[in-house]
Structure formats: C-alpha cells, structure tokens
Structure 1
Amino acid sequence: MTLELFAGIPVTDYAAALKWYEQLLGAPPTFVASDTEAVWELAEHRSVYVERRPERAGHAMHTVFVDDFDTRVARIAERGIEPVERETYSNGVRKVIYRDPEGNEIGFGGAPL
C-alpha cells in the first residue's frame, strides 16, 4: 500500500503566506499549481499546500514528524521564525508549534533526546 498525504492550509493573503511558508520550510514551493495555490513536497508522496480560501483561513492544524528535530528547529530560528509553543510528552516525544499570520498551526515533532 502506498501512503500519500496532501494536506491543505487555507489562507486569506496568499502572497504573505507564500513568503511565510518559504521562510518556515526553507525553500520556495516545489510547484505552483495556480495563482492561488502552492505546494511543498516534504517527502516523497507527502505534501502540504497553501491555497487562498478566505472562508476557511486560519483553521489548519498539521504536525510533521521529523528525524532531524533539533536541527530543523534551529534552522527555522535562523530564518527568523520561533515556535509559539514547545511541548514534551510523557513518553519524551517533543513538539514545537508555529502559527502563520492567519493562525494556522503547523508543528514539528521529534523523538526523545
């Protein structure tokens, strides 16, 4: 079975969202699907996309688990974005949460230290 993920992030200000997600993810979109939609492939068959959909903006909640948690969080900080929350669960799993200017939540999780 092939697993594919295509997770959407609705926004009102598409241009501002493009800039913020490029800063967060450290790269321009993998491809631009239209004048109102851009896609970042995070891993093979696993993508997030930003789309101008004002009526739904600000309600996305996504968490991406990564092997390079500490390095990723440090690189995002170097690009000028800090997490709004940091959590460590009882099993030691760590998570940081970022919120885009419209309130959408994107988190990164990582294994215990």
Structure 2
Amino acid sequence: MALDMYAGIPVSDYASALGWYERLLGSPTFVVSDVEAVWELAEHRSIFIEQRPEHAGHAMHTIFVDDLDALVAQIAERGLDPAERETYSNGVRKATYRDPEGNEIGFGGAPL
C-alpha cells in the first residue's frame, strides 16, 4: 500500500507565518499561491501552511527524525529554539516549537 501525507497548518497572517516556517523548515519546496506554501519532508510526506484565519492556531503535528539533536541545532542556526523539550519514560525525546499563532510542530527522536 502506498502512503502519502499532506498535513496542513492554518495561519491567519501568511507572510509572517512563511518567514517563521522558513526558519523552522528551511525554504519551501514550492509555493502554491500567495496564501499557501509546501515543504516536502520526505518522499510523499509534506507539510503546508495556508492562510485560513478561522482555523489558525490549532494545528498539532509531531514528526519523527533520525537525528533529533542535529535537527534542533540546524533550526537554532536559523534563529528558533524549542518552546519545550521532553523525554518520555521510554526514553523517546521531543522538541516542540510553537509558531506565533500557537500551532505546535514537534520533532521526536529515539533515545540516545
């Protein structure tokens, strides 16, 4: 079975959100329109922001990565630090970022 994921993040101020998400994820893979941009995180797995003020601030996504520390360091180089860091009882770690509207993007990683 093929698997594709296209996860959305509603924002009220697209221009401001685009700048913040570029610091979090790097340059978008492509810009759909003047109110939507897409980042392909892996083949057939994308995340997008879209101006939808009536829904802004309610997204919650967690993305698991092979090297959490390296990713957090790369994001820090672009000017963002996690709002929260957690280590669960099973050793799994998570770094959570919150955009200015309250949307949460977490990155999880296996125990060290």
Cα distance between partner residues in 2 of 1:19 and 1:50: 11
Find runs of 4+ consecutive structure 1 residues off by over 6 angstroms: none
Aligned to 1:65: 64
Residue-pair matches, total: 112
Give, in angstroms, the shift of residue 20 of structure 1: 0.5
Instruction: Please give the secondary structure, in 1, of the residue aligned with 2:18.
Output: helix
Structure 2 stretches lacking a partner, 5+ long: none
Instruction: Please give the secondary structure, in 2, of the residue aligned with 1:67.
Output: coil
Aligned to 1:2: 2
Give, in angstroms, the shift of residue 67 of structure 1: 0.2
Aligned to 2:41: 42
Give, in angstroms, the shift of residue 78 of structure 1: 1.6
Partner amino acid, structure 2, of 1:23: R
Partner amino acid, structure 2, of 1:36: V
Structure 1 stretches lacking a partner, 5+ long: none
Cα distance between partner residues in 2 of 1:77 and 1:38: 22
Aligned to 1:101: 100
Give, in angstroms, the shift of residue 38 of structure 1: 0.5
What pairs with 1:15-94 in structure 2 (closer than 5 Å)?
15-25=15-25, 27-94=26-93
Cα distance between partner residues in 2 of 1:21 and 1:83: 13
Q: Percent identity?
A: 76
Give, in angstroms, the shift of residue 101 of structure 1: 0.8
Cα distance between partner residues in 2 of 1:78 and 1:30: 20
TM-score by length of 1: 0.97
